[in-house]
Structure 1
Amino acid sequence: MPSEGVGALQFTPFTTSSTKEVSNEVTQLLAALRGDSGQAALTEAGMRVGDGAGPGVPGMPAQPKVVVRPTPGLVDLTMSTWASMSRDLRLLTVIDASGSMKYKTANGMTRIDAATKSAGEAMGQVPPGTRVGLWLFAENRGGPGQDWKQLAPVAPVSAKEGSTTHGENVLRAFGSIRSQVGGGTGLYDTIWAAYDQAVRTYDPKLANVVIVLTDGKNEDPKTIGLPALLTKVKAATTPQRPVKLILIGIGAEADLGVLRQIAGAAGGSAFNGDKGATVRDVLVDALVPVRPEGVRPAS
């Protein structure tokens, strides 16, 4: 058993039917569980019963060390998490196309190949109702003063586009990024543009997410700057339009500290792409709602 103990769950009877037959069966079941033989069976199975006394397992305390009472905010977050798990994604993926993305990773792949491969794998794991879009970014890549370039708008992956689908076109667009790598890293303006667009075009029926993959620090001398970016992101983050911002750093030059600051301002997450962050990790995290400040259990 862990030295710090383990969490305890309380099982509360609940029935979804009010018919007489079901009510009688529930009553009989509860009577059996609360009787001497039922209590003995539960105790033998390692569960606490009655007044909460411990089941007598060696090393297990008779009483819990900490009793956690969820706050209303934590309850709301838990319920919204369950709701998000049943919703499709509205996903904008933004990939760094600066010159350093040609450098090789520890496994011999270039950073751009690793990024597009991971993003392509993610495309293969999203449900058919997902909406996806794709940008790349590097300094002035979208024209003078604009560091981002749209390769595919956000649209349903199953939507027909000529003789193919939007999802297939997005996968082809991923493959085209390799030939467009070059220039400095225009990070701050790109993050703000992607997040701002996602908030303005928010779809309440979907889990709205922005994922940015980058290998560097901001190199645009005409950027809005980190303080202004944090201010703008915080101001745009509202309970009415919760957009999950996920930032993934690839390579030693990626400043995870800064990425965590930016993601945190939006209630999002930052991952180290060189240390075990998998596509599944990112997609699961994408489904978790924006975490408002102050959502903590009360002990």
Structure 2
Amino acid sequence: MIDISGVSRSFGERRVLDDVSFTVAGGRMTGFVGGNGAGKTTTMRIILGVLTADAGTVSIDGTALTPADRARFGYMPEERGLYPKMRVLEQLVYLGRLHGLGAQAAKRSAESLIERLGLGERGNDTLESLSLGNQQRAQIAAALVHDPTALVLDEPFSGLDPIAVEVVLGVLRDYAARGVPVLFSSHQLDIVERLCDDVVVIGGGKILAAGSREGLRAEHSGSSFELELAGPTADAGWVRERPGIEVTHLDGGFVRFDAADEHAAQRVLTGAVEHAQRSGAGVTVQRFAPITPSLAQIFKEVVR
């Protein structure tokens, strides 16, 4: 587990990180989201030791990170740094050797990643001859070639088409399944929501929300509910007359509403059962559930 605790950083008079604290658990995918200038890249650079913190600590499994620990991390920076005129396979082998792999081990790892990431026919091509999406795949391979103990990836899905996204997701899931902590930033909230176990939202250099994906959705679900009645005479119009209820959408037997409190919502459910019993003709309560927000909705809520 990577633990970021009380990290602050300023550039001159501008404070870009303010007491940032969160964890990246082993074996879990953690999405790091925030607007431009929120502090994501600075935080990642501090984790990797590219920048130093003015205050706070970064540790792994309870021990302060050392240069040797960081050398075993896989890092994909925001600024892509591969050599444009170097062949892809040659470049990955070279990077594997820099991380301490033997020549044969580095070649095996590079060839395996090239195949898994869909670059099997492009290994002998120069980086600059590849499309931007394939350059991105090569950059991801560079972060993985030395079999890292943790992954810190800055916008790994940028420029990838949907098929390439699925390929990269599969590779990252495999690393997480092996117990590797995986932290990545992304502006593509739909991908974060689909992939991540945990989510960290940062804004203005401060952590605005952090927790498991489902925990955050439950925490921000508020008091909105949906009720669906099924049957030829199903009608949910009576919900508007219930105390403490504000109907936001009504269509026959389907109603979406806000409840003043838990008791008001419970009274609607009780009323639905009674309505179904009175109506007869096969009317049933098909569904009654709180409305859980998407990550995009939570993001808008916490950053405003």
State the TM-score, normalizing by the size of structure 1.
Answer: 0.29
